[in-house]
Amino acid sequence: MTGPTSLSDFTVRLLIALLLISLVLALWAARDAVLLGFAAMLLAIAVHGIADALIRLIPLPLPRPAALAIAAFSLIGGLVAVFALFGAQLTGEVSGVIERLPEAWGRVRETMQADPLGAGLISEIDNIASGNSDNSLQGALADAGGYALPFASGLTTALLVFFIAAFLTTSAGSFRNGALLLLPKGIDARVGEGLDASARALKKWLLGITVDMVIIAVLMAITLWALGVPAFIGLALIAGIAQFVPTVGPLVAAIPGILVAFTVGPMTALWTAIAYLVISQLEANLIYPLIQKKTASISPALNLIAVLVFGMLFGSLGVLLATPILVVLSVFIVKLYVQDTLKKEADFLG
């Protein structure tokens, strides 16, 4: 009697294992869609976070659906107002940065070619840019119109993310409960707690990174203006947005700032580089640690590893969403593995 029963149990377990493997493969095949869904979830969580703040701040009783509606319209209205009031100026600033880059690169070339080592480096950069062919750069510029289709596709994807976020904002509970129905009884409760803790941690992280981006943008705008760097508003905007990708983002954002500063002079470029370095150290050692006391705390080293790993696995979307994905993984690892499996006491971000 035990033989058929054991065979039946083995068959069930084998089918479950095959089903899980198939699910993992399907998710990997649709990884871009999964990441875009995660981005939509982040946007929905931001709306819920604003709604929570409204409920706490408004003295009168405010039903949650009304708070969510006000939060969504406030977020959309705020973005529209910013673009309406400052859109033309910001577009002009960013365009000014882009227009000045060739001139800035010319100044950098002149400065570096005065030194033998710098001249060798410039020669290597030219070889890489040209692909050892005089016409490759011109060909790439001639094919620039081919980027129109990916750009339009990007706009369509962004709209799709907004629509998914709208559905998640109003039906988050239904999606959560539907996903938990697929899990065995007992495990579903712990996973549900992990999902709730992840949502709380992401709200804290979004609040912290928003404050961080605003502070850095303001500091960079004041500093670049004082140094006389052109298009300082656009460069400050780039620096603030770059904080969304820790460590790597600020380094990349410093490059156009230093290049544009070269259009003024080498000394201005030097002081601009020092300003980026000082503000990045100030952010890493003072501003961000102070923000972390009230928000989700992630180790900078772990953040950098996550950016590298998710960038290699998922490309640019992985780099952009590396930190919030790390926040969710940290909560689940601590809650489901460290606390439940290892039976150890540990704090998680939620």
Q: Give pLDDT tens digits for 153-195.
A: 555 666 667 667 776 777 777 777 877 787 777 777 888 888 8
The answer to whether residue 119 scores a pLDDT higher than 80 is: no
- Alpha-carbon span 168 to 72, nearest angstrom: 12
Any alpha helices (H) in 116-247, and if so which ranges?
116-130, 136-142, 148-180, 187-227, 232-242
pLDDT at 222: 95
- Alpha-carbon span 4 to 117, nearest angstrom: 77
pLDDT band at 315 (very low <50, low <70, confident <90, very high): confident
- Asked if residues 320 and 342 have their Cβ atoms less than 8 Å apart, the reply is no
Half-sphere exposure of 118 (CA within 13 A, CB side): 9
The answer to whether residue 317 scores a pLDDT higher than 80 is: yes
- By the 10 Å C-beta count (0-12 exposed, 13-18 middle, 19+ buried), 184 is classed as exposed
Average pLDDT over the chain, rounded to whole? 76
Structure tokens at 108: 């950098």
**Residue 242 vs residue 143, higher pLDDT:** 242
Q: What is the mean pLDDT of residues 220-230?
A: 92
Helices (H) and strands (E) in the chain, counts: 13, 0
For 30, phi then psi, to 5°, come to -105, 35
**Residue 153 vs residue 276, higher pLDDT:** 276
The answer to whether residue 150 scores a pLDDT higher than 70 is: no
pLDDT band at 198 (very low <50, low <70, confident <90, very high): confident
pLDDT band at 148 (very low <50, low <70, confident <90, very high): very low
pLDDT at 143: 47
pLDDT band at 144 (very low <50, low <70, confident <90, very high): very low
pLDDT band at 225 (very low <50, low <70, confident <90, very high): very high
3-state secondary structure 4-18: HHHHHHHHHHHHHHH
pLDDT at 300: 75
Domain limits, the chain: 31-133+153-339
pLDDT at 75: 79
